[in-house]
Chains A and B, each alone.
Chain A
Amino acid sequence: MFSQLRPALVAFVALAIITGIFYPFTITLIAQLAFPSQANGSLIAQNGTVVGSALIGQHFDDPKYFWSRPSATSPVAFNAGASGGSNLGPTNPALLEQVQARIEALRAADPDNTAPIPVDLVTASASGLDPHISIAAANYQIARVARIRGLDVARVRDLVAQYTEGRTLGVLGEARVNVPQLNLALDGIAGE
């Protein structure tokens, strides 16, 4: 009955070495040589300091910035050390309260804007780190950002277009605007 014990132990150790050491280390080595930027988190550096990652969102609530999607991470929004969603069910009253509060905040920052608010701007993302908003969500905010920064609406619109990515091959996923990169670019204009 225990004739299979020895092969079981030896096979486990041998396969663990192949798949748990050889495989991940080989991939790490290739990744660090061939794709160093991606493999280390697509970090954005400015004057030698890391100011974020092109793939990780940040929280913005100053009206001069484009706001990101809500994030449900704790203890702080966009905690990139502890990802996760709200996991609130669709009929949970807490979800409705949160959505209402977000709508109020957006309206308060831009009282004259009566357009409907794109849904992604008032719902928490799955990862809590979503760096993107929809084009509609960016359009909703363009007038506000332009006004507060004293910029031409057309100028801001161009900038949004610059940080907009379409569907992959025109089919996969959704078109989206990268918020941290867009806001960094806006600050770049201010420094000119």
Chain B
Amino acid sequence: MTFIGILQIVLYIVVLVALTKPLGAHMARVYQGEKTFLDPLLRPVERFLYRLFGTRETDEMDWKTYAMAVLMFSAAGLVFLYTLQRAQGFLPLNPQAFGAVTPDSSFNTASSFVTNTNWQGYAGETTMSYLTQMLGMTVQNFVSAATGMAVLVAFIRGLTRHNSKLLGNFWVDLTRSTLYILLPLAILVSLLIISQGAVQSLASSTTATLVEPTIDSNGATVTTQTIAVGPAASQVAIKHLGTNGGGFFNANAAHPFESPTPLTDFVLILAESVIAAALCYTFGKMVGDTRQGWAILAAMVVLLVTFMFVAYWAEAKGNPAFAPFGVDQTASDVNPGGNMEGKEVRFGIARSALFATATTATSTGAVNSMHDSYMPMGGFVPLFMMQLGEVVLGGVGSGLYGMLVFVIVAVFIAGLMVGRTPEYLGKKIEPFEMKMAALLILIMPLTVLGMTAFAVVHPEGLKSISNPGAHGFSQVLYAFTSQGNNNGSAFAGLGANTLFYNTLGGLAMLISRFWLAVPTLALAGSLARKKHVPASAGTLPTYSPLFIGWLIAVVLIVGALNFLPGLALGPVVEQVMMK
């Protein structure tokens, strides 16, 4: 680890926290229907859209209607994206003349993008037409993120309202998330990365004459290089902002046309975490006590930074197996050092470890380095970040509502310990809330571990493993952890584009998104109906440093209890074997 490397992590955290308040305050205005600086431009568009949808801004929904709206809208997206991939061969904007995507891959990819996962069994530049990338992937990058944000806002309303059945209007929350938050930021980030060298073109690939001819694996001489381009930057911007993560190119944000410089890397890491962080402030603002939001953000940032340093430390040490061959793995001003397999020189070790941790702490899943080639403890970090349930920042919206469930559990356990009725933000936590919270926490490990266990005893599951030994098990565990938490990153050596993995993974993604969103809304509905309990001397303050520490402990204990046995079989064994 070098001083500059540590400085890059510190710089990221400082900028992230500095942006939290201004963006969070803007989002609070957006969700509370207040005036924003974008109103003159967007208000007319917004009004026109509501007329088109046949909804009125003042028409509010109870939790069941809200959930139904979420499900219907997502179902429409799922059917459309599946059809688009199957039909792309007959549609325009397909300069490479790609044919239809297979049915199982189309199902997996449609589930993946609608659930904000962006797991990719396919390679973008050799599979998807420009039309599919724009009208399929890019659209879902926006609306699946906006859906997560809408569910969060409904949940917050459940906490702030009393004796009410209503949680807001999904169509309004969805539209405002897209128009006032995601779209302006996406335009900004797109143009910034294009200025640095990210590509944005509708032309087919370019052919270059190689400086030195080379020989391919069949022994044929190759004198040209086919350089794939495309409308990449517009998709890259929103895949980070919306914590989606699905790359335009197979190598994702490691591809020089997605992220050409360290500056674009910095911007993309910031983009994938800034909305999730700022939503904590929005939450505080909406519940009328910003300390509540800062406390949650503090818990998230402590976990994030801790694991960033673990990953950085593990990767900076390099691979001990290379040592006998006279390979120089010592970091200096002229040598990135460390474990450079599957990493880019312009990013080096610190930015790769920073990215790997941020992309899995948030549910983004984009990569700027190949996690499969990480050292055992370096690969443990992204795996464990996902296994915490995508609540360390997490997905936009979904991360915070997941964390709020952990807050409720933390309040409940604390209440049991001192023998008082647990309450949070003036709401009594009762059996129904705890049932929903338990359901929300248990579904994910059940899906992930159940499917992993099934895959490692099924011949179809074993066939796709590409690395021998404990690392091979980690590949399968990573695949279902990623899909079962709507992350989307991979130990990409696993040959996941098979009927077996596409189908099972597609189901994991649908379960973890919608089986969690619906109980979350039910919880919100139940909270909204309660009356306000004024704070008393016995109320546990949920913003003190003590509570922040307690929340971190609860998140870690639940995550560790569920997954330590699985982790012991994968990265831990591999680490022990290295010595």
Contact = CB atoms under 8 A, between A and B. Distances in A.
Contact of A139 (B4, B190, B334): B334
7 contacts: A15-B143, A19-B178, A20-B138, A23-B142, A53-B256, A75-B218, A117-B328
A24 B199 CA distance: 12
B345 interface: yes
Given A19-B142, A41-B201, A173 B328 contact: no
Interface string B39-53: 000000000010011
B339 A58 contact: no
Given A77-B214, A125-B343, A187-B211, A87 B171 contact: no
Interface of A: 1-12, 14-16, 18-21, 23-24, 26-28, 30-32, 34-35, 38-44, 49-56, 58-62, 65, 69, 74-93, 95-96, 99-100, 103, 116-120, 122-137, 139, 167-168, 171-176, 180, 183-184, 187
Task: Determine which residue in B198, B257, B335 has the highest number of CB atoms from chain A within 10 A of its CB, and name it.
Answer: B335
Task: Determine which residue in A24, A90, A130 has the highest number of CB atoms from chain B within 10 A of its CB, and name it.
Answer: A90
B341 A123 contact: yes
A7 B53 contact: yes
Nearest to B374: A90
A136 B102 CA distance: 46
Nearest to A183: B211
B341 A40 contact: no
A133 B279 CA distance: 40
B574 A118 contact: no
B500 interface: no
B328 A116 contact: yes
B351 A171 contact: no
Contact of A43 (B142, B206, B375): B206
B562 interface: no
Contacts of A39: 194, 199-201, 233
B503 to A, nearest CB: 22
B372 A87 contact: yes
B191 A74 contact: no
Among all A-B residue pairs, the 5 with the closest Cβ atoms = A173-B262, A87-B493, A126-B254, A83-B251, A174-B348
B335 A81 contact: no
A20 B368 CA distance: 25
Contacts of A96: 321-322
Contacts of B332: 136
A80 B255 CA distance: 10
Contacts of A30: 191
B419 interface: no
Interface residues of B, number: 137
Contact of B325 (A3, A69, A99): A99
Contacts of A26: 187
A174 B345 contact: yes
A90 B190 CA distance: 35
A76 B217 contact: yes
B492 A84 contact: yes
A158 B205 CA distance: 34
A83 B200 contact: no
A93 B370 CA distance: 18
A12 B373 contact: no
Contacts of B203: 40
B335 A120 contact: yes
Interface string B185-226: 011001100111111111101111111101111100010011
B256 A14 contact: no
B196 A16 contact: no
A166 B552 CA distance: 39
Contacts of B347: 173-174
Contact of B372 (A41, A51, A89, A100): A89
Given A40-B199, A90-B341, A126-B344, A172 B72 contact: no
B537 interface: no
Interface stretch (B381-389, B395-403, B441-449, B463-471): B463-471
Contact of A55 (B77, B142, B197, B372): B197
A58 B210 contact: yes
Given A123-B340, A132-B344, A92 B467 contact: yes
Contacts of A103: 325-327
B186 A15 contact: no
A81 B375 CA distance: 28
A51 B250 CA distance: 23
A55 B227 CA distance: 11
B346 interface: yes
A27 B234 contact: yes
A12 B78 CA distance: 11
Contacts of A87: 342, 370, 372-373, 466-467, 491-493
A64 B178 CA distance: 54
A83 B328 CA distance: 27
A30 B347 CA distance: 28
